[in-house]
Amino acid sequence: MADKITSRSEDYSQWYIDLVRSAKLADYADVKGCMVIRPNGYAIWEKMQAALDRMFKETGHVNAYFPLFIPESFIAKEAEHIEGFAPECAVVTHGGGQELAEKLYVRPTSETIIWSSYKKWIQSYRDLPLLINQWANVVRWEMRTRLFLRTTEFLWQEGHTAHATHEEAQEEVLRMINVYKTFAEEYMALPVILGKKSDSEKFAGALETFCIEAMMQDGKALQAGTSHDLGQNFAKAFDCKFQTHEKTLEYVWATSWGVSTRLIGALIMAHSDDRGLVLPPRLATRQVVIIPILKGDKESVLHHADNIAAALTKAGISAFVDSSEQNSPGWKFAEYELQGIPLRLELGPRDIKNGMCVVARRDTLEKTEIALDDRLVMSINEILNDIQQDMFDAALRFRQERTVQVNNYDDFKVAVEKGFVIAHWDGTVETEAKIKEETKATIRVLPQEDDYCDTYGINEPGTCIYSGKPSARKVVFAKAY
């Protein structure tokens, strides 16, 4: 049962750690910087994987698996790439009892090892496009860790595609960042801003990085997915050319895109409360818990509870009965609130007699009575759909309330402590670096979608809040995880 969870208002960081550990989602491992993803946490990842994997396959991708180890010379082939990743790698120097002739890096990302294979597989335009995804673990050394959000090892998927033209690669980059947006919004109930990264925030080795950014309950940003236009950088590094339809030789165009177990952290921080986890129904392995109130005719209550669970299961709703007698109903209420089961159904002898029962929503904690008749399954299905939609709406409202536009740096410094700040930027790396140094806020995203841009006048020219120089557009600043 739950240890006490610190409240969000008291200490948001501690609340997060308490929640993750009380709900048994993850645990620090006895290896510096690493985590154990416990069954309750891994179940969320499995739901995420299933939905994403289906979406990847529907967009024509297949899965494969490439080696964990990358020879040092491979990482070194793309200049920006080695500069970005080498300092944070784990390095294998011995294998099978021998010192190795060449050091092996544990993959921090797989562009180089994958393009060394693509070079062998791609000869002609007939071999393109190549649309491959990999589910894997990656390692990036971290000194200051936070469960799910920043750990030395984490799980992710990385898509790596090869194309005959830049245009086609660019379409792929946008297609996949939109898949991520759909997933975030429709499954995670998490509204995101889709756009580009500034040059200093983009992937090491990319021409351009697209991202989706979400707001957490403390107003900070969390990058929830990225999709990179790699141009011909990796094809050139690995000398990967193809024969075009016109018999000329050209370098292949590349993209890569990924999301990770960070998303579990995002899910928790966006929706959960002081009682514990709040899960959107579409990512809950168990959607409905039925708690029988075991007074009077226990047999009859259990029989009814089992029947309801069976009817829900048959309708594709994941339901279970907790009929254990060692714990009280009150204990169970608290336990399943902690675990984030979206809906609780309470069923006692009186409810059965009256033909009504109480259901309690996890997201709003609201209780309502529903009829124990033929419409029960439909009613519960509707409530689950409402929860999914309401969680999204609440998160969107919260983001809107915590988003402000400012016209000067003093206002900026105050506002950026509370949420997203939309402000004019002169487009220079220098200004970006100064603002980061002075406020710890970074440019999260250059929004690209009409709706968002229109709402906040993103593409109106103006004056940079820091330098006073002309600015072609506004950008979104925030502190970030």
Binding site for a second copy (CB under 8 A): 27, 29-31, 34-39, 41-43, 45-46, 62-71, 74, 87-97, 104, 106, 113, 116-117, 120, 132, 136-137, 139, 141-143, 152-153, 155
Q: How far is the CB of 138 from a second copy (least distance, A)?
A: 10
Nearer to a second copy (CB atom), residue 106 or residue 222? 106
SS3 state at 272 = coil
Rama region for 316: left / alpha / beta (φ>0; ψ in -120 to 50; rest): left
Query: CB of 198 within 8 A of CB of 472?
Result: no
| Neighbour tally for 4: CB within 10 Å | 7
CA distance 118 to 161: 9
Closest CA to 340 of 263, 282, 262: 282
Nearest distance, CB of residue 72 and a second copy, angstroms: 11
Q: Please identify, using beta-carbon distances, which residue of 155 and 480 lies nearer to a second copy.
A: 155
State which residue, 80 or 401, has the beta carbon closest to a second copy: 80
Closest separation in Å from C-beta 120 to a second copy:
7
How far is Cα 443 from Cα 465, in angstroms, rounded to an integer? 13
Q: How far is CA 473 from CA 56, 408, 438, 461, in A?
A: 33, 15, 22, 5
The residue (of 75 and 290) whose beta carbon lies closer to a second copy is 75
Burial class (CB in 10 A: 0-12, 13-18, 19+), 165: middle
Residue number with CB closer to a second copy (115 or 420): 115
Q: How far is the CB of 77 from a second copy (least distance, A)?
A: 11
Q: Which CB, 89 or 347, lies closer to a second copy?
A: 89
Q: Which residues contact 39 (CB under 8 A, 6 or more apart)?
A: 24
Please return the burial class of 316, using the count of CB atoms within 10 Å of its CB with bins 0-12, 13-18 and 19+. Answer: exposed
CA 411 to chain CA mean position, Å: 31
Instruction: Give me the least distance between CB of 318 and a second copy, in Å please.
Output: 12
Compute the distance between CA of residue 204 and CA of residue 97 in angstroms, rounded to an integer.
Answer: 34
CB of 116 to a second copy, least distance (A): 5
User: Distance (Å, rounded) from C-alpha 315 to C-alpha 331?
Assistant: 28
| Closest distance to a second copy from the beta carbon of 441 (Å) | 26
Nearer to a second copy, 143 or 249 (CB): 143
Q: Would you say 94 or 303 has its CB closer to a second copy?
A: 94
CB-nearer residue toward a second copy: 34 or 480: 34
- Min dist CB 298 to a second copy, Å, is 22
Residue 121 or 350: the one with the smaller Cβ distance to a second copy is 121
SS3 state of residue 27? strand
User: Which amino acid is residue 70, in one-letter code?
Assistant: I
Comparison of 118 and 420: residue with beta carbon closer to a second copy: 118
- State the Cα–Cα distance between residues 342 and 282, nearest whole angstrom: 10
Q: Which residue has the tokens 């709003």?
A: 364
Which residues does residue 136 pair with via DSSP β-bridges, in sequence order?
A: 156
In angstroms, what is the minimal distance from the CB of 412 to a second copy?
33
Helix (H) or strand (E) holding 206: none
| Residue 449 beta carbon to a second copy: minimum distance, rounded to whole angstroms | 33
Least CB distance from residue 94 to a second copy, whole Å? 4
Number of neighbouring beta carbons within 10 Å of residue 64:
13
CA torsion, ordered 138, 140, 144, 148, to nearest 10 deg: -20
Q: How far is the CB of 46 from a second copy (least distance, A)?
A: 6
| Eight-class DSSP state of 199 | G
Closer of 137 and 389 to a second copy (Cβ) = 137
Instruction: Tell which residue, 61, 23, 64, has the closest CA to residue 148.
Output: 23
Q: Are 128 and 163 in contact (CB under 8 A)?
A: yes
Both tokens assigned to 232: 């011909």
H/E element holding 377? helix 376-401
